[in-house]
Structure 1
Amino acid sequence: MQSGKNLVVITDLDGTLLDHYTYRFTAARPALDLLAKLDIPLILNSSKTAAELLSIRETLNNHHPFIIENGGGIYLPKGDDYEVIALGTPREDFLPVVSRLKNDLQLKFRGFSDMTDEELSEYTGLSQQESHNARKRDFTEPLLWQDNETSLRTFSVELAKHGLQATQGGRFIHISGITDKGKSVAWLRDYYKRLLNNSIYVIALGDSPNDIEMLNNADFAIVIRSPVHEPLLIKKDNLLVSEHFGPEGWNESINLCLEKLNII
Structure 2
Amino acid sequence: MLTLQEPLMIVTDLDGSLLDHHTYSWQPATEWLTRLKEHHIPLVICSSKTAAEIVPLQQELGFGGSPFISENGAVVHYGDAQSALTGQLSPQDYRAICHTLLNLRQRDGFKFIGFADVSEKEIAEWTGLAPALAARAKMREASESLIWRDSREQFDLFRVRLNEAELELVQGGRFWHVMSKGSGKGAALRWLLEHAPSSASPRSRRPITIGLGDGPNDAPMLDSVDYAVVIRGYSKNPVLLERADKQHIYRSTARGPEGWVEGLNHFITPS
Which range, TM-score by smaller chain?
over 0.9
Stretches of structure 1 lacking an aligned partner (at least 5 in a row): none
Instruction: For residues 197-218 of structure 1, give each alpha carbon's deviation from its aligned partner in whole angstroms, at most 9, with x where no partner exists.
Output: 5432111111111111101111
User: Which stretch of structure 1 is more off in the superposition, 215-224 or 187-196?
Assistant: 187-196
Deviation for aligned residue 1:68: 0.9
Counterparts of 1:125 and 1:105 in 2: how far apart (Å)?
Answer: 32
- Asked whether the 8 Å contact 2:97–2:143 carries over to 1, the reply is no
Counterpart for residue 79 of structure 2: 77
- Percent of pairs identical after alignment? 34
Q: Does 1:128 align with 2:131?
A: yes
Counterparts of 2:69 and 2:205 in 1: how far apart (Å)?
Answer: 22
Instruction: For residues 112-153 of structure 1, give each alpha carbon's deviation from its aligned partner in whole angstroms, at most 9, with x where no partner exists.
Output: 000001111111111111111000100000001112333222
Counterpart for residue 222 of structure 2: 215
- Asked whether the 8 Å contact 1:207–1:231 carries over to 2, the reply is no
User: Which stretch of structure 1 is more off in the superposition, 120-129 or 77-86?
Assistant: 77-86
Aligned CA-pair RMSD: 1.8
Q: 1:146 to 1:4 in 2, by over 3 A?
A: farther
Q: 1:149 to 1:26 in 2, by over 3 A?
A: farther
Stretches of structure 2 lacking an aligned partner (at least 5 in a row): none
Instruction: For residues 3-51 of structure 1, give each alpha carbon's deviation from its aligned partner in whole angstroms, at most 9, with x where no partner exists.
Output: 5442111000011111111111111112211222222100001111111
2:79 is paired with a residue whose SS is strand
Counterparts of 2:128 and 2:204 in 1: how far apart (Å)?
Answer: 44
- Normalised TM-score (structure 1): 0.92
Q: Does 1:187 align with 2:191?
A: yes
- Counterpart of 2:180, as a letter, is G
State which of 86, 91, 95 in structure 2 corresponds to 1:92.
Answer: 95
1:151 is paired with a residue whose SS is helix
- Counterpart of 1:185, as a letter, is L
Counterpart for residue 248 of structure 1: 258
- Asked whether the 8 Å contact 1:5–1:39 carries over to 2, the reply is no
- Counterpart of 1:36, as a letter, is K
- Asked whether the 8 Å contact 2:3–2:268 carries over to 1, the reply is no
Deviation for aligned residue 1:87: 0.8
Counterpart for residue 142 of structure 1: 145
Counterparts of 1:85 and 1:134 in 2: how far apart (Å)?
Answer: 19
Number of corresponding residues: 261
- Asked whether the 8 Å contact 1:206–1:224 carries over to 2, the reply is yes
- Counterpart of 1:100, as a letter, is N
Counterpart for residue 118 of structure 1: 121
- Normalised TM-score (structure 2): 0.90
Counterparts of 2:5 and 2:195 in 1: how far apart (Å)?
Answer: 17
Deviation for aligned residue 1:94: 2.1
Instruction: For residues 158-209 of structure 1, give each alpha carbon's deviation from its aligned partner in whole angstroms, at most 9, with x where no partner exists.
Output: 1011100111111001011011000111012224545655432111111111
Q: 1:104 to 1:247 in 2, by over 3 A?
A: same
Deviation for aligned residue 1:230: 5.7
2:266 is paired with a residue whose SS is helix
